[in-house]
Each structure stands twice: as C-alpha cells, then as structure tokens.
Amino acid sequence: MNIRLYNARILTMEEGRDLFRGEIWIKNDRIAYVGAIEEIEEEGPGLPHIKWDYELDCENNLLMPGFKNAHTHSGMTFLRSYADDLPLSEWLTKKVFPYEEKLSTGDIYEFTRLAIMEYVTSGITSIFDMYLSPDAIAEACRDTGMRCVLCGNVNDHTSSPEKMADEYERLNSFNPLITYRLGIHAEYTCSKELIDSVCSVVHRYKAPFYCHLSETRDEVEDCRKRYGLTPARYLDEVGLFEYGGGVFHGVHLTEEEMDILAMRDVSVITNPGSNLKLASGIAPVAKLAEKGINLAIGTDGAASNNALDMFREMYLVSTLSKIRENDAASFDATKVIKMATWGGAQAMGLRDANVLATGKYADIIMIDMHQPNMQPENNIVKNIVYSGSKKNVKMTMIGGKILYAEGRYNIGESPERIYENCNRIAERILA
Amino acid sequence: MNIRLYNARILTMEEGRDLFRGEIWIKNDRIAYVGAIEEIEEEGPGLPHIKWDYELDCENNLLMPGFKNAHTHSGMTFLRSYADDLPLSEWLTKKVFPYEEKLSTGDIYEFTRLAIMEYVTSGITSIFDMYLSPDAIAEACRDTGMRCVLCGNVNDHTSSPEKMADEYERLNSFNPLITYRLGIHAEYTCSKELIDSVCSVVHRYKAPFYCHLSETRDEVEDCRKRYGLTPARYLDEVGLFEYGGGVFHGVHLTEEEMDILAMRDVSVITNPGSNLKLASGIAPVAKLAEKGINLAIGTDGAASNNALDMFREMYLVSTLSKIRENDAASFDATKVIKMATWGGAQAMGLRDANVLATGKYADIIMIDMHQPNMQPENNIVKNIVYSGSKKNVKMTMIGGKILYAEGRYNIGESPERIYENCNRIAERILA
C-alpha cells in the first residue's frame, strides 16, 4: 500500500523543526517520505514515480504524530461513571476489586475495544495498558489495529512473576503492533518476596521495569512504615530500576526519589485527570523536567478519569502545573505536546513511533484547523494544547491504516455492536 | 413554526425529575409541550392535530437545556494563544490592554461571531458577555441567533455610568435575544467616585449588579489597603448589592464575604479554566454551595482560557473542588450540571431558559449518546460531566432555531469567511 497525504501542514516533533507545509508518503506501515512543499517542487519530475493506492487532500489541516497514552487500564471502561466521587482506597476496595472479580477475558476484550474507539477519537495511536488479562488486550488491539505496549501487572492476588515471564516471551512475538514490558501493580500490592522474585525476572531479561508509584500520600507513608524508605528508594535498592523503565503517577515524589529516577533513566508518566478526580494531588512536572527526567502522559482508566482523552490531559498538565507552582508561566504548551508524543514513545520504548520521519511507523493524526477553537492561528501548538479537543481529530492512522476518520471507525466491528455488548456486560456485572 | 423532537431521552433539569423517554414540541421560540412516551400514548388521538414544519428523530439521544455561559468576553478570541503563560497583572497590562486599544467595533463584531461558533459547538445557548462594545456584541448575537445578556463594564478608562445607563435603556429593548445588566469591570479598575455614581444608577433602576470580584489574592490585598475592607464587603457597604446580582470568579472570598453574598442573593460565577491558567487559584465552590449561594459557570474569555468549552469547565468545577477540599466526594456531577444550566439562568436573570418545560424558551441541546465516551450508560449525567466533550453535541437550538447540527452552522455567515476575517484582523492588530 502506497498512501500520499498532501496539502498538509506538518509538525514532525523532531527537535528544532518548526511546522511547515508539505506531504507525507507512506509505504505499508512506515513513513517513506516527509517533505516540505519547496523540497518536493525542487525535486520535480526527478522523484520516483509512485503508483498511489490512496491520495488524501489534507485541506491545509495539520498532520502530527499520534498521541501516546502512556498509562491506561482500557478494560476499566466497564466502570465508567459507576465508581465516582470516592477516595482512592475506598474506590479500589468497594467499587473496583469486587466487580473486577466478575470480569471474564471476553468481557475485557469487549471493553478494551470500547476504549480503543475512544482512543482513536482523541488522536491516540498507542497505549501502555496494564490490566487483568494481557492476552485479551493484545487480541483487541490486534483486531482493531491499535498499537499497544502491555505492562506486567504482578501483585499478591491476580498475577505472578512466572505468569509475567511467560507473557513477556509470548506476547512480545504475538503481533507487530504489540510489545510487552515487565512490571508490577505497585509496591503496596506486592509482598517483599514477590518483589524480590520480580527483580530476578527483570535481571534475567535485563529489561526496563514499570509500576504505579507515589500516587497517594498514604501509599508513601505506608511504604516508609514498612521499609523505612520511600517507594522509589525502596524499589531502587531492591534493584528493579537497573535497566530503566517508568513509574505511573509520581505525585508525591521526594527530591531524593527524583534524583534516583533521573539517574536510572526512569520516565515519569503523569495522569493529571485521574489524580484530580481521586483527590490524590498534582504531580510536580516542572520539577521533574528540571531534573532531566523523561515525562509522558496517561489517561489512566475510565473508572477514575472518566474520559480517555489526551486533549483533556494535555491541558491539565500545563494548567495544573501553573496552579501548583503558583506561576502562570510554568510548563507551557510546547513542553506538553512533546510529552504527549515523543516523551510517551520514549517511556514506552516505541522509538519508531516518536516523530514523523522516514522509516518511522505511520502513526499519524490529522488535526482539523477549520474549527472555531483553532482560530485565529496566532499559535497552532498553543491552540492544540490550550484550546484543542477531540472534536478536532479528523483522522487517526496507525501503522499506515486509517482507524478513524470524519467520525467513522474502521476497527473490524460496528460501533453499535460494541456499545450493545458493553451495556449488556456492564448490566450483568454491576447488577 | 412547529417543530417536533421525538424518540429522545429528556433531562428537563426540573427539581426532582429524572431522565425519561419522550418528545418535545416547539412553537416558534418557546416549548409548547414536554412529555414522556407513556403520557403521549395515553392521550392517543385525543391530542390536537398539529401540522409539523419539521420533525426530528433524536435516535434515542439526550435532549437537555442548553448550557449557560455565565461569564465571558467573546471578543477576546482575537488574543487566543497569543497572550499565554503570564500572570494576570502582566497579562493584562502587556498583552491585553495595548492590543484592545486597537480593536474597532467591527473587529469585536467579527471575533464575537467566532466565539459564538465555538459556543454552539459546545452546547452553549446563552452567554453573559462583558466587553468593550456592547452594541457590537448585541449585533453579532442578533445576526447569528445567540441569546445574550450583556454586562455593564464601567471602569476608569473605557466606559462610564452615563454610557452604562444609556446602554441599559437602549439595549434592553434592542432584540428579544438580548438583555442588559448593570455592572463594573472590577473594584480595582474603578475609583471611589466612579463606584458611587454607578451605585446611584443601580438604585435608580433598582437593578441587580455584577462585577469581577476576588479573582486574585493581590486584588483582595490591594482593596484592603485602599479601603480597609475586602472587596465584597466594600461594594456591599457602598450599596451595590441592594438588588442582588452576581460576581465573577470569587476565588479568594472570606467567610464574611460569602455571608454577605448569600444574604444579598448574589450569585457566584466560577471560571475554573481561566483561574487555573492564570494561576489565580481554585474557587471554594463547595463552601459557597453550603452557604446557599446560587452558583453558575463561565468560560471567561479566550485570551485566558483559551477554549470556550462548557464541558471542560464542568469537569473542572467538580475535579478542582475535589483537589481543593482534599475530598474525592466533593461536588459531584449532579451539582455541576445544575450550575451549568439552572444556576446560570438564575445568575443571568434568564428564568425562561432554566429548564425544559411548557412556556420556556426552546433553548435545547442534543447530546450524542452513540459515542464511546458515553458508553456504557451506567450514569448518563456523570458521563456528561466527567467524560463528555463538545464532540457529543449533536444539535444546538436557541429560541426554536437550530444554530448548529451535525458539525454544520446556521448563523448567517460561512465559517470560512469568519476565519478569514478573524485571521486578517488578528494579523493587523498583533503585528
């Protein structure tokens, strides 16, 4: 398949490269060429004659790398607007765990498809998904066409180091769209013995490691009581960050923990919407950036957020930093858009999906500039971060396949069928 | 014109009435009938035979009252994404005032039309607009079909009590869509003498009074230094709240000020997005609600927000209250949706646009439930507030006229023409 996207404005997210007018050419699942109009005109008829399978006039809209949702639990869409207005501990023990027990892998497959529909409406082209059944998630992503990094979810109840090692070997070769990374749910859901055996798996594969960390103040205090150490310090002393990785949330990190994460090349994935709604706090993103830590953004699951919308998260990253630091100049849009694309790819190990350039995956979105919230065009990046919405997503392409365009889905199933299935399952589980 | 909206789910926002399935009939600019399916079927052929000019199958989507944007400066769209990442005082003096001086009434008319386009995409059916040229705003609203309450904007530089009194008399009878309310910009932009003469206008018309109040900590401190009183206490002692009214922002109100506002039946209109972005703070909405104060929501202008999107503001009202009060149970979705509809109408004096009922204005929006972020349907109101977006707005009707449906506008001008004009003007002014 040869696809040509022309008459576009392009933001490649390459360091130091401004927005320009031009074209993107795609061969199968990769970008074959990204060029400015002037370059293309200069080359003229010298360019190789390509037979296009599909040519799309972008009507002067913006092409950019798709957003990376670097922390989510897709299957939790079944709890959307059911488990609200509760603090994290009560929310988890009363409204999440009891119902999750009733979920089958088929249920998770279906609710993951629902989440994927929402992702593509919001320009998300890859997800970092930690949930109960990685196989069901992998199948849903393969069947719809979503790029997915699965995250190990070891804890005292629903997974184990052996299961994780098996998933790591199996799922990393399951499908080109899927990779798998080692991880635990969190320090507070794993015994010391369990964490030690996870560590031996990490060292066996010499692989990066991921987990929820420092989401709430209580979690940090409990870890101090248990081990006399903050969570990042404790996990680092065990040896889990030897090969880098990432932590989800990082709301209540100490200065020392930040230094550890920086030294170990561990990314912090912030989830501002979820942290607000559960009243967990506001992550210190400005401080983390100063430390040179790679930052990424996640929606977290629909049970706590409740939307899976990167525009909302991008907006929150910047504006919450301003209120936290009491400084309206804090963390502007250019930093945020980098987190949502390049930073996410870095955190997830998707270095072939970080920018728009020859050889990279064709994970591309088109932002509709012909809408009032994108006008006037004083600053297009600021328009996207401060004023943009999923309504501006005109097209979402993953690996050269258009999954969503002009409000229509191309995910191998009809939307109404997915809604029907999801409502039926939710009624059964939440009855 | 007789319009029938059928096969709908309906949320009238009347006290104590749950969502139901039914129809809404409209005659000219008012609602003629709102009924549940069962009632309609019972009445059967006994119902008067109406010749419909237009019948719309709502496909089981949700009809509800349009949102009231109870504080905005529509014309400030010219500064969108130009004046970002600065604290309020610097933002006002360096990036707002110098450029506003160059704005003509024609410019304001055009940028107000741009804002109106954005409002209708977000389900906003009336606005409370304070800006430099009320006449230009009134014309833009008349020409597009937006319901608008204009707010007096007296200050030491660009308006006066005499001008306001003239506008009050003229613009209240300008067009059925337009009303005008008395107001000043803020205590800190008006001398003592000016405030005293505004007060005599308020008492002459025995009318409610509005102003920006307690937006920043500095503003409150400066007022204390000037008069030895907090701003609400000072304005109340002058006599400005004798006939009720409303204050915009109310971020740093003292307990005593809240009691004054409650006693005087003064609404508080919160602007969470703008307050975040300018790092002004988080308004104490939970406390204000406890005091029995009527609450409403505004987007503020695009120069500070930058989107004019009630979904974002509704989400922020709830989640910021949770983080402010350190309580995930604080201020849930049912309270927020009431603020965005009934509360706004109350604050703006639009008691004929507060709920969907016979005799009320046909200011109605249709929320598309056939989208992934609205599924499953565990709780529709929570879906709207916590997960909804402007993408879910399928139709916006004001006074029986559909201004926006399925991504298309019916506002007397082509969108592309408005974008072109706005970009040309912005280039001229910001050059």
Q: Residues 391..410 of B with a Cβ closer than 8 Å to A: which?
A: 391
The confidence band for A45, taking pLDDT boundaries of 50, 70 and 90, is low
CATH for B145: 3.20.20.140
Specify the pLDDT at position B114. Answer: 98
Amino acid letter for position A429: I
SS3 assignment, position B270? strand
Q: Using CB atoms, which residue from A276, A312, A377 is nearest to B322?
A: A276
- Does A299 fall in a domain? yes
- Does B415 fall in a domain? no
Q: Residues 344..373 of B with a Cβ closer than 8 Å to A: which?
A: 370-373
- Does A416 fall in a domain? no
- Does A59 fall in a domain? yes
Put simply, whether A80 touches B (Cβ < 8 Å) is yes
Q: How many CB atoms lie within 10 A of CB B104?
A: 14
CATH for A60: 2.30.40.10
Interval B167-183: pLDDT, tens:
999 999 999 999 999 99
Q: Do B328 and A430 touch (CB under 8 A)?
A: no
Q: Do A372 and B302 touch (CB under 8 A)?
A: no
For the packed helices B105-121 and B134-144, what is the interaxial angle rounded to 10 degrees? 50
Mean predicted confidence (pLDDT) in A142-153: 98
Interval B42-70: pLDDT, tens:
776 556 678 999 999 999 999 999 999 99
Q: Do B81 and A278 touch (CB under 8 A)?
A: no
Residue A318 sits in the same domain as residue A367: no
Q: How many CB atoms lie within 10 A of CB A321?
A: 27
> In angstroms, what separates the C-alpha of A11 from chain B's closest C-alpha?
17
Q: Which strand ranges, in their side-by-side order, compose the sheet holding A295-297?
A: A67-72, A124-129, A147-151, A178-186, A209-213, A245-249, A266-270, A295-297
Total domains present in chain B: 2
- The predicted model scores a pTM of 0.97
Q: Do A81 and B383 touch (CB under 8 A)?
A: yes
> In angstroms, what separates the C-alpha of A156 from chain B's closest C-alpha?
27
Put simply, whether B302 touches A (Cβ < 8 Å) is yes
pLDDT at position A349 over 70: yes
Residue B43 sits in the same domain as residue B92: no
Residue A26 sits in the same domain as residue A107: no
Interval B283-314: pLDDT, tens:
999 999 999 999 999 999 999 999 999 999 99
Q: Using CB atoms, which residue from B118, B320, B383 is nearest to A276?
A: B320
The confidence band for A412, taking pLDDT boundaries of 50, 70 and 90, is very high
Taking the CA atoms of chain A, what radius of gyration do you get in angstroms?
21
pLDDT at position A39 over 90: no
Mean predicted confidence (pLDDT) in B23-49: 85
Q: Per-residue b/e over B371-408, b at no fewer than 16 CB within 10 Å?
A: bbbbbbbbbbbbbbbbbbbbbbbbbbbbbbbbbbbeee
> In angstroms, what separates the C-alpha of A241 from chain B's closest C-alpha?
31
Mean predicted confidence (pLDDT) in B190-212: 98
What is the pLDDT of chain A when averaged over all its residues? Answer: 96
- Does A404 fall in a domain? yes
Query: Which of A7-11, A426-430, B48-52 is least confident?
Result: B48-52
User: Which chain B residues touch A118 with a CB distance below 8 Å?
Assistant: 372-373
- Does A287 fall in a domain? yes
pLDDT at position A409 over 70: yes
β-partners of residue A270 are A297
**Residue ending a domain, choose from A299, A319, A349:** A349
- Does B355 fall in a domain? no
- DSSP string spanning A292-360? T--EEE----TTTS----HHHHHHHHHHHHHHHHT-TTSS-HHHHHHIIIIIHHHHHT-GGGSS--TTS
- Proportion of chain A above pLDDT 70, given as a percent: 99
pLDDT at position A40 over 90: no
> In angstroms, what separates the C-alpha of B24 from chain A's closest C-alpha?
25
Residue B271 sits in the same domain as residue B379: no
Contacts of B105 (CB under 8 A, 6+ apart): B133, B135, B136
Put simply, whether A74 touches B (Cβ < 8 Å) is no
The span from the CA of A146 to the CA of A130, in Å, is 15
Specify the pLDDT at position A87. Answer: 78
Put simply, whether B431 touches A (Cβ < 8 Å) is no
Dihedral angle computed from the Cα positions of residues B405, B410, B416 and B422, in that order, rounded to the nearest 10 degrees: -110
The count of CB pairs under 8 A between chains A and B is 217
Put simply, whether A326 touches B (Cβ < 8 Å) is yes
Residue A219 sits in the same domain as residue A265: yes
pLDDT at position B355 over 70: yes
Interval A159-198: pLDDT, tens:
999 999 999 999 999 999 999 999 999 999 999 999 999 9
Q: Using alpha carbons, select from A284, A275, A214, A203 the residue that is nearest to residue A247.
A: A214
> In angstroms, what separates the C-alpha of A343 from chain B's closest C-alpha?
22
Q: Residues 182..201 of B with a Cβ closer than 8 Å to A: which?
A: none
The span from the CA of A304 to the CA of A212, in Å, is 14
Put simply, whether B117 touches A (Cβ < 8 Å) is yes
The span from the CA of B349 to the CA of B128, in Å, is 10
Q: How many CB atoms lie within 10 A of CB A406?
A: 11
The span from the CA of A332 to the CA of B277, in Å, is 10
The confidence band for A333, taking pLDDT boundaries of 50, 70 and 90, is very high
- Give the structural domain span for B308: 67-348
Q: Do A423 and B377 touch (CB under 8 A)?
A: yes
Put simply, whether B86 touches A (Cβ < 8 Å) is yes
Amino acid letter for position B368: D
pLDDT at position B145 over 70: yes
Q: Do A80 and B383 touch (CB under 8 A)?
A: yes
Contacts of B13 (CB under 8 A, 6+ apart): B64, B65, B337, B338, B341, B342, B354, B355, B356
Residue B10 sits in the same domain as residue B40: yes
Put simply, whether B69 touches A (Cβ < 8 Å) is no
The helix or strand, by DSSP H or E, that contains position B245, with its residue range, turns out to be strand B245-249
- Proportion of chain A above pLDDT 90, given as a percent: 93
Specify the pLDDT at position B376. Answer: 98
Interval A245-301: pLDDT, tens:
999 999 999 999 999 999 999 999 999 999 999 999 999 999 999 999 999 999 999
β-partners of residue B361 are B30
Specify the pLDDT at position A48. Answer: 65
pLDDT at position A41 over 90: no
Residue A176 sits in the same domain as residue A224: yes
Mean predicted confidence (pLDDT) in A321-342: 97
Residue B183 sits in the same domain as residue B90: yes
The helix or strand, by DSSP H or E, that contains position B425, with its residue range, turns out to be helix B415-430
> In angstroms, what separates the C-alpha of A333 from chain B's closest C-alpha?
9
Specify the pLDDT at position A46. Answer: 53
User: Which chain A residues touch B312 with a CB distance below 8 Å?
Assistant: 312, 315, 389
pLDDT at position A131 over 90: yes
> In angstroms, what separates the C-alpha of B343 from chain A's closest C-alpha?
22
For chain A, the straight-line distance linking the first and the last C-alpha, in angstroms and rounded, comes to 47
Q: Using alpha carbons, select from B310, B289, B377 the residue that is nearest to residue B118.
A: B310
Quickly tell me which residue has 């904007």 as its tokens.
Answer: B153
> In angstroms, what separates the C-alpha of B375 from chain A's closest C-alpha?
6
Q: Do B373 and A422 touch (CB under 8 A)?
A: no
Residue A72 sits in the same domain as residue A47: no
Mean predicted confidence (pLDDT) in A142-160: 96
Put simply, whether A121 touches B (Cβ < 8 Å) is yes
Put simply, whether A254 touches B (Cβ < 8 Å) is no
| Interface predicted TM-score (ipTM) | 0.96
- Does A231 fall in a domain? yes
SS3 assignment, position B250? coil
With CA atoms as reference, the chain B residue closest to A110 would be: B376
> In angstroms, what separates the C-alpha of B412 from chain A's closest C-alpha?
15
With CA atoms as reference, the chain A residue closest to B304 would be: A386
Residue A210 sits in the same domain as residue A314: yes
Cβ atoms of B399 and B177 within 8 Å: the answer is: yes
With CA atoms as reference, the chain A residue closest to B110 would be: A376
- Judge if the upstream peptide bond of residue B65 is cis by omega within 30 degrees of 0: no
pLDDT at position A47 over 80: no
User: Which chain A residues touch B305 with a CB distance below 8 Å?
Assistant: 386-387
Residue A228 sits in the same domain as residue A309: yes
What is the pLDDT of chain B when averaged over all its residues? Answer: 96
- Judge if the upstream peptide bond of residue B376 is cis by omega within 30 degrees of 0: yes
Q: Using CB atoms, which residue from B81, B279, B423 is nearest to A327?
A: B279
Residue B36 sits in the same domain as residue B90: no
The confidence band for A44, taking pLDDT boundaries of 50, 70 and 90, is low
